[in-house]
Amino acid sequence: MTTTETMAQPGPTAAGAKPMIELVGLTKRFPGTAEAAVDGLTLTVNEGEITVLVGPSGCGKTTSMELINRLIEPTSGQILIDGEDMTHTNPDELRRHIGYVIQETGLLPHRTIAQNVGTVPGLLGWDKARIAARVDELLEMVGMDPATYRGRYPKELSGGQRQRVGVARALAADPPVMLMDEPFGAIDPITRERLQNEFLRLQQQVRKTIIFVTHDIDEALKMGDRIAVLRNQSHIAQYDTPENLLTSPADDYVSDFIGAGASLKRLNLSRVRDIEMATDAPTASLSTPVAEVRAVLLASTWTSLLLLDATGRPARWVNSRDLARAEKGTALTELGLPVEAIVEPHATLADALDELIASNVGCTVVVDGTGAYQGVVDLETIMTVVRTVRDEYERFHLAQKLAQQPADGQVR
Amino acid sequence: MADTALATQALPGTGGTAGTPGTAGAPGRAESRRGGSPLSWFGMPVLLAVILGGTYLWVSSLELDTIEQRTLNVEQLTRSTIEHLHLTAVSTAIVIVLAIPLGVLLSRPFARPVVPAVLGIANIGQGVPSFGLITIVILWTSLGFWPMIIGLVACSTLPILRNTMVGLEQVDRTAVKASRGMGMSPLQVLLKVELPLAFPVMIAGIRTALIINVGTAALGTFFGQGGLGFIIYNGITLNRTPVLVTGVVLVSALALLIDYLAGALGRLLAPRGL
């Protein structure tokens, strides 16, 4: 058991991905403690990916992260960044090339936002003009108007804004690697959600190699390209993609940690644009004569018809009874039910399901960026997706298990 | 009433035991806002002008006898005030130069074992009545300016030392951690983060030390070092109330003025954004 835990767990390596951070047998034993805080952590992080370390409090995830930028010096083991051994280099120099974001932001209260963001470039000896230009660029990037905010002090900002500045500060010297310790942990749920989304969008642009620590499995599933579920002393229970973690947890510890509702959580990982939505729903323009609308509805297998306005945006759901009243003279715009459940293609299936349940019609309408009708998602569609995904993974892992059996026999 | 409170504070010798006003570890005194009402900026100078002017008018209205005239003349008062300021300035400068670096050192993790011992010694300096302490120093060495200074330094070390330590201790740990995490060296963190953030508390300690020194310097006359204590002492021994009152008012006004100036300087120099 211990051998498998302390031995290298290379984890899944996507074809062509280049390892950026390699931790080899990283161990930290604090003086006067019997147990190591981090015991032989071996982990490879691919370039441009977000790797999440997730685990209950006290499992050593923050310590593990602080070992990487050597805020805590490892007792033994090796840290390789981009193939270079960083275990014995100058730690200050090392840290200037690793972005660092912490939960409480750690902004310096006596320095302006611009001075805060420009800290690392200043340490690296950039000239003033270059720092000022970079600061403005970064504030822009995190969605804060430089002219408004550069001269303010941290206490004049909201928690969410402070955290944005924290992210901008970590990106200042364009480090290839970033460490983020529960960066969105102390923020209200609504702002957190927004910051997470903004950060993922930012990551699409900057493609940093990121190690992200959290105790929140939902955040891990959302942010991570790969997730390392840690148990005590930073032993890796499973290092895998979010999909694999949900469909085939390695053991009871992992499935307990993921908690109830793994199937529901999986809906967070698929997006509406990736599935086949129903496009056969009957539609008609609001300006179509009622008799024609009726003919369209009758010709379909649906009981309701979606009326679209002149620009192709969904307007109302109507059924045959509504159409009967329309024939008696009521305007189409006043009949049926308004379309409330609307999502865009980048929404997750969880969003779509949520809208669906909240709506008074049995399906969610998908629209494109301009609001024009694309198709609909109903419960059937979502069920099909869940079932297919599960079947696929089960078949895949069964095959893997069978292939590994002889090897296991040898180890024993 | 503010006057009487001040007299005891500024004149530990005459007040009996050494009054050690609520000194160290008083971060509450730290001025956090640069702004403030006009009253907080101009109230004290106006009050001092009124007290000094009033005393001057009162003394001028009296017929002074020759004994009183020997003390209450411009030359004597100026000399005593300068002597007093000299004692205060030199002792406070030395305390600042000694106690701040010592406080910084003691706040480093490696110094933790010796902290209680050093604070204990500093506590003796503050706990023992200043009159006794200076007497001991002078018995040990000799009568003179420097032994007097040593005594003053011993009396006023604790507030600066303690406030430096408290000030550094209350610096937001996350700011320090983030600064280290961005690649600042320990010295850079101290100079660019810890000391600026500790400044308001440290300046409060310096103000306290200044007040102690202004008050204790009044004892200088007993050790041949002059100062405004000379005027008070004359007033008591010669039984001349105008002389006594003038001395007390001058010492009190000086203490208040110095405290006000130090506070104003602290407010102007305090890092913004705190």
Q: Which of B183, B271, B274 sits opposite A93 (nearest CB)?
A: B183
Q: How many pairs of residues across A and B have Cβ atoms under 8 Å apart?
A: 69
A105 to B274: CB separation less than 8 angstroms, yes or no:
no
Q: Which domain holds residue A23?
A: 2-270
CA atoms within 13 Å, Cβ hemisphere of A7: 5
How many C-beta atoms lie closer than 10 Å to residue B118's C-beta? 17
Same domain (yes/no): A115, A232: yes
Residues in Cβ contact with A19 at an 8 Å cutoff, skipping those fewer than 6 apart: A13, A44, A45, A46, A47, A83
Q: Rounded to a whole number, what is the distance in Å from the CA of B115 to chain A's nearest CA? A: 22
Q: Which residue of A has its CA nearest to B200?
A: A110
**Alpha carbons A227 and A269: distance in angstroms, whole number:** 13
B177 to A106: CB separation less than 8 angstroms, yes or no:
yes
Q: DSSP of B82-128, one letter per residue?
A: HHHHHHHHHHHHHHHHHHHHHHHHHTSGGGGGGHHHHHHHHHHHHHS
**pLDDT band of B19, cuts 50, 70, 90:** very low
Same domain (yes/no): A65, A180: yes
A110 to B274: CB separation less than 8 angstroms, yes or no:
yes
CATH number, residue A359: 3.10.580.10
**Alpha carbons B29 and B1: distance in angstroms, whole number:** 21
**Alpha carbons A341 and A159: distance in angstroms, whole number:** 32
**Alpha carbons A73 and A220: distance in angstroms, whole number:** 26
By CB atoms closer than 10 A (0-12, 13-18, 19+), residue A297 is buried
pLDDT at position A149? 95
Q: Which domain holds residue B169?
A: 49-57+67-269
Q: What is the mean pLDDT of chain B?
A: 83
**Alpha carbons B44 and A33: distance in angstroms, whole number:** 57
Q: Which of B172, B177, B273 sits opposite A111 (nearest CB)?
A: B273
pLDDT at position A332? 80
In a domain, A280, yes or no: yes
| Strand (E) or helix (H) holding A213 | strand A209-214
Which DSSP symbol is given to B202?
Answer: H
Look at residues A270, A289, A308 and tell me which one is the last residue of a structural domain.
A270
A95 to B188: CB separation less than 8 angstroms, yes or no:
no
Domain count for chain B, please give it.
1
In a domain, A404, yes or no: no
Question: What's the ipTM?
Answer: 0.73
Give the pairing type, strands A177-181 and A209-214.
Answer: parallel
pLDDT at position B36? 67
In a domain, B156, yes or no: yes
Structure tokens, A141? 């990037």
Structure tokens, B254? 């000086």
Q: Rounded to a whole number, what is the distance in Å from the CA of A400 to chain B's nearest CA? A: 42
In a domain, B214, yes or no: yes
Side chain identity at B188, as an amino acid letter?
A: Q
- β-strand partners of A213: A53, A181
In a domain, B257, yes or no: yes
In a domain, A406, yes or no: no
B181 to A100: CB separation less than 8 angstroms, yes or no:
yes
Same domain (yes/no): A296, A188: no
Q: Is B72 helix (H, G, I), strand (E, B) or coil?
A: coil
Same domain (yes/no): A103, A252: yes
Residues A230/A231/A234/A238 CA torsion (nearest 10 deg): -40
pLDDT at position B185? 94
**Alpha carbons A23 and A27: distance in angstroms, whole number:** 10
Domain count for chain A, please give it.
2
- Nearest C-alpha neighbor of A101 from the set A205, A37, A184: A184
Same domain (yes/no): A105, A181: yes
Q: DSSP of A89-136, one letter per residue?
A: S-HHHHHTTEEEEETT----TTS-HHHHHTHHHHHTT--HHHHHHHHH
Q: In this predicted model, which residue has the larger pLDDT, A6 or B192? A: B192
Side chain identity at B168, as an amino acid letter?
A: L
In a domain, B216, yes or no: yes
CATH number, residue A29: 3.40.50.300
Which DSSP symbol is given to B271?
Answer: P
Same domain (yes/no): A182, A331: no
pLDDT at position A259? 80
pLDDT at position A168? 94
B180 to A95: CB separation less than 8 angstroms, yes or no:
yes
Q: Is A186 helix (H, G, I), strand (E, B) or coil?
A: coil
- Nearest C-alpha neighbor of A308 from the set A275, A325, A283: A283
CA atoms within 13 Å, Cβ hemisphere of A104: 11
In a domain, A26, yes or no: yes
Distance between start and end Cα atoms, chain B: 34
Same domain (yes/no): A286, A216: no
Cβ atoms of A26 and A228 within 8 Å: the answer is no
Cβ atoms of A14 and A46 within 8 Å: the answer is yes
Cβ atoms of A141 and A208 within 8 Å: the answer is no
A179 phi-psi bin (left φ>0, alpha ψ -120 to 50, beta other) = beta
In a domain, A396, yes or no: no
pLDDT at position A148? 94
Residues, chain B: 274
CATH number, residue B164: 1.10.3720.10
Note the Cα A322 to chain centre separation in Å.
Answer: 43
Same domain (yes/no): A32, A84: yes
pLDDT digits (tens, 9 = 90+) for B107-142: 998 888 888 888 888 888 778 888 888 888 888 888
In a domain, B239, yes or no: yes
- Measure Cα distances from B224 to A36, B135, B240 in Å: 66, 12, 21
Chain A residues touching chain B at CB-CB below 8 Å: 69, 71, 92-97, 100, 102, 104-112, 119-120, 123, 153-155, 169, 179
Cβ atoms of B151 and B126 within 8 Å: the answer is no
Q: Is B220 helix (H, G, I), strand (E, B) or coil?
A: helix
Look at residues A213, A248, A270 and tell me which one is the last residue of a structural domain.
A270
pLDDT digits (tens, 9 = 90+) for A95-147: 999 999 998 888 999 999 999 999 999 999 999 999 999 999 999 999 999 99
Q: Rounded to a whole number, what is the distance in Å from the CA of B197 to chain A's nearest CA? A: 7
Cβ atoms of A116 and A108 within 8 Å: the answer is yes
In a domain, A74, yes or no: yes
Q: Rounded to a whole number, what is the distance in Å from the CA of A315 to chain B's nearest CA? A: 52
Q: Which of B174, B178, B273 sits opposite A110 (nearest CB)?
A: B273
**Which of B33, B34, B182, B201 best probes binding to A when mutated, by most A CB atoms within 10 angstroms?**
B182
pLDDT at position A150? 92
Note the Cα B197 to chain centre separation in Å.
Answer: 22
Same domain (yes/no): A15, A53: yes
Q: Is A258 helix (H, G, I), strand (E, B) or coil?
A: helix
**pLDDT band of B11, cuts 50, 70, 90:** very low
pLDDT digits (tens, 9 = 90+) for A380-399: 888 888 787 777 767 777 77
Same domain (yes/no): A208, A231: yes
In a domain, B174, yes or no: yes
Same domain (yes/no): A110, A182: yes
How many C-beta atoms lie closer than 10 Å to residue A79's C-beta? 21
**Which of A95, A101, A110, A124 best probes binding to B when mutated, by most B CB atoms within 10 angstroms?**
A110
- Nearest C-alpha neighbor of A168 from the set A142, A199, A187, A194: A142
Highest-scoring range by mean pLDDT, A324-328, A336-340, B26-30, B258-262: B258-262
Angle between helices B195-216 and B145-169 (to 10 degrees): 150
By CB atoms closer than 10 A (0-12, 13-18, 19+), residue A69 is buried
pLDDT at position B187? 94
Which residue has 């956090």 as its token pair?
A: B32
A69 to B181: CB separation less than 8 angstroms, yes or no:
yes
Over range B167-190, report the average pLDDT. 93
Q: Which of A92, A102, A123 sits opposite B178 (nearest CB)?
A: A102
Side chain identity at A148, as an amino acid letter?
A: T
**pLDDT band of B73, cuts 50, 70, 90:** confident
Q: Which residue of A has its CA nearest to B273?
A: A110
Structure tokens, B172? 């937001």
B175 to A107: CB separation less than 8 angstroms, yes or no:
yes
- β-strand partners of A22: A44, A80
Same domain (yes/no): A85, A201: yes
Cβ atoms of A278 and A381 within 8 Å: the answer is yes
Residues, chain A: 412
pLDDT at position B2? 36
Query: Which residues of chain A are modeled with pLDDT < 70?
Result: 1-16, 393, 400, 404-412
Q: DSSP of A339-377, one letter per residue?
A: ---EE-TTSBHHHHHHHHHHSSSSEEEEE-TTS-EEEEE
In a domain, B137, yes or no: yes
Chain B residues touching chain A at CB-CB below 8 Å: 172, 174-175, 177-185, 188, 192-193, 196-197, 271-274
Q: DSSP of B256-270, one letter per residue?
A: HHHHHHHHHHHHHHS
From edge to edge, which strands make up the β-sheet containing A235-240? A98-102, A177-181, A209-214, A50-54, A226-231, A235-240
Residues of chain B contacting residue A111, judged by C-beta atoms under 8 Å apart: 273
In a domain, B151, yes or no: yes
